[in-house]
Structure 1
Amino acid sequence: MLFVHIEERKFFSCTKCKAILLHPLHYLSPEEEKERYLLHQNDIHDIGYQNFVSPIVQSISKEYNANHTGLDFGSGSGPVITSLLTEKGYNIITYDPFFDPNNSTLENKYDYIVCCEVMEHFYNPSREFSLLFSLLNPGGKLYCKTSLYNKNIDFRSWWYKNDPTHVFFYTKDTLLWIKNRFKFKLLEIREDLIIFGN
């Protein structure tokens, strides 16, 4: 169902999961998408960037240790979460379709998975969450970070939709739909930190 038409871009609302999605006609090409990501200032030594991801790092530090295995899914060109956890002695590896496309990492299972500022880039969230669920060990957790949409936000002026690589926007109803669809046992929402438990 058409949600809003802003300039040349059309956004639709999913009647099942209540997400907002960009029409595929407006997707960037893979080359354009990678160029956009290269503009991001993902310096692993940047204190502001470290503070931004600290809720995930702190949560993992409380629940896991060096004996557990982790995956930074969609780690980007500057995998700061992996860097910070590795400094603490954690066993975490990266995967990114543009910057670290090592598909062998998707053949293993993990105790925890990080998906920080990634899920809004999913062209096919159902496929991606099915994959992420399959990669978790029993009792494992998926840590996601994204900006959630709610009805109190004026979508037309919402800054988060302006990034051309952001194609899928989640509501709390969407997260609950994902939990039920993939049979996650846990869903915890802490502002923009989302935790799914297997």
Structure 2
Amino acid sequence: MTNCPLCKSEARHFQWFREMEYLQCDGCSALFLHPRHLPSPQEEQERYKEHNNDVEDPGYQKFVAPIVDSVLQDWPPQTSGLDFGAGTGPVISKLLGDQGYNLRLYDPFFWKDPAPLEDRYDFIVCCEVVEHFHNPEKEFRLLSGLLKPGGRLYCMTEAWDPSVDFQRWHYKNDPTHVFFYHPHTFRWIRDNLGFSGLELQGRLAVLRK
């Protein structure tokens, strides 16, 4: 038996794709890659280096706009922010920096200094990050603990629900995308990992401390 890496409920076989098995959690409805297929840290880093994340690319800037616009609406520039999983091109920090914000950066591969994880923040942005979590329970507990009371966590990811044709779904084709969130999954996170509120806005999930 394999348990969900988020809520620890029992998971059952969901589908195979390219000789890799995906499971579905009976508790929080998440889909995830079977642990035996998880990429190594070296494989992850090589894949991330292939991303063409040019902070000046208008298309990339448009892609991250839902997070940027939400932060601009919710917080003034003097508040504290963290770009968690900033990657090779921290475009959100660049765009918010242009508006007077100052975000700190953390990424386990590209911004490895752990000092930002010792502070607390009004808001945290995670753009195309949470689907990479091998241990989402641990990561969301960390993120919750990094927020000040009343703070917000902005997660942009492509959620899954039964209307999605999994075999044709492009999002699971990236080998580093290993955990997929159903709306129920985010509700479980809200209710169990130190959050008090949740807003689901398309690809954007906002968890309130």
TM-score, normalised to structure 1, is 0.98
Gaps of 5+ in 1: none
Aligned counterpart, 1:175: 186
Q: Tell me if structure 1 keeps the 8 A contact 2:130–2:155.
A: yes
1:100-111 to structure 2, matched below 5 A, reads 100-111=111-122
Is residue 2:44 matched to residue 1:33? yes
Aligned counterpart, 2:134: 123
| Paired letter, 2:167 | R
User: Equivalent residue of 1:44, what SS?
Assistant: coil
1:119 deviates by 0.2
| Paired letter, 2:152 | K
* Identity score, percent: 49
Is residue 2:154 matched to residue 1:165? no
1:82 deviates by 0.4
Task: Name which of 79, 89, 95 aligns with 1:84.
Answer: 95
1:64 deviates by 1.0
Once residues 139 and 40 of structure 2 are traced to their aligned partners in structure 1, the CA distance between those partners, rounded to angstroms, is: 19
| Paired letter, 2:160 | Y
1:7 deviates by 2.8
Once residues 183 and 84 of structure 1 are traced to their aligned partners in structure 2, the CA distance between those partners, rounded to angstroms, is: 29
> How many residues end up aligned between the 2 structures?
198
Write out per-residue CA displacement over residues 74-106 of structure 1, whole angstroms, 9 at most, x where no aligned residue.
000000000111111102111000000111110
Task: Name which of 34, 40, 44 aligns with 2:55.
Answer: 44
Q: Tell me if structure 1 keeps the 8 A contact 2:141–2:194.
A: no
| Paired letter, 2:182 | T
Is residue 2:74 matched to residue 1:63? yes
Write out per-residue CA displacement over residues 107-153 of structure 1, whole angstroms, 9 at most, x where no aligned residue.
10000000010000000000000000000000100000000101011
- Following TM superposition, where does structure 1 have runs of at least 4 consecutive aligned residues deviating by more than 6 angstroms? none
1:147-162 to structure 2, matched below 5 A, reads 147-162=158-173
1:183 deviates by 3.4
Q: Tell me if structure 1 keeps the 8 A contact 2:120–2:147.
A: yes
1:158 deviates by 0.7
User: Equivalent residue of 2:187, what SS?
Assistant: helix
User: Equivalent residue of 2:159, what SS?
Assistant: coil
Once residues 104 and 16 of structure 1 are traced to their aligned partners in structure 2, the CA distance between those partners, rounded to angstroms, is: 35
Q: Tell me if structure 1 keeps the 8 A contact 2:13–2:22.
A: yes
